[in-house]
A = this chain, B = another copy of it.
Amino acid sequence: MAYSKSEFFNREDEQLADIAKALSHPARIAILKVLAARQTCICGEIVDELPLSQSTVSQHLKALKQANLIIGEIDGPRMCYCLNESICKKARSMLNSLFNKIKCC
């Protein structure tokens, strides 16, 4: 890539791209669905649901955390993850706003 992409595109496009990037791996989609399906905020059961190692799942969780789509809280020796509803809503509305612009051709 040679140099950073930033500075070249506007903030909105960058933000949207970041959200999309967080959603750009099936494992992360699956994680979000697991979190949504279980009423309680699940931690390591996610690992059991996915065909990936614990360390790899942890990485995907980190990516989702960095995108703010999920929140992790310490619960004794384990971690309790849950969806970040407000950011998810924002993500949804940003994506919808993009698709609203897409009508031409």
A92-B96, A103-B36, A104-B82 given as contacts; is B51 within 8 A of A30 (CB)? Answer: no
Report copies per complex. Answer: 2
Q: Which residues of B contact A71 (CB under 8 A)?
A: 105
A13-B29, A17-B25, A20-B23 given as contacts; is B102 within 8 A of A88 (CB)? Answer: yes
Task: Count A-side interface residues using an 8 Å CB cutoff.
Answer: 47
CA distance A103 to B99 in the complex (A): 22
CA distance A23 to B94 in the complex (A): 12
Which chain A residues have a beta carbon within 8 Å of chain B's beta carbons?
A: 5, 8-10, 13-14, 16-17, 20-30, 32-33, 35-39, 41, 51-52, 71, 82-85, 88-89, 91-92, 95-96, 98-99, 101-105
Q: A17-B25, A21-B25 are in contact. List 17 more A-B contacts (CB 8 A).
A: A5-B26, A8-B26, A9-B27, A10-B30, A16-B23, A17-B28, A32-B98, A32-B102, A36-B101, A38-B104, A83-B102, A83-B104, A84-B105, A85-B103, A88-B102, A92-B95, A92-B99
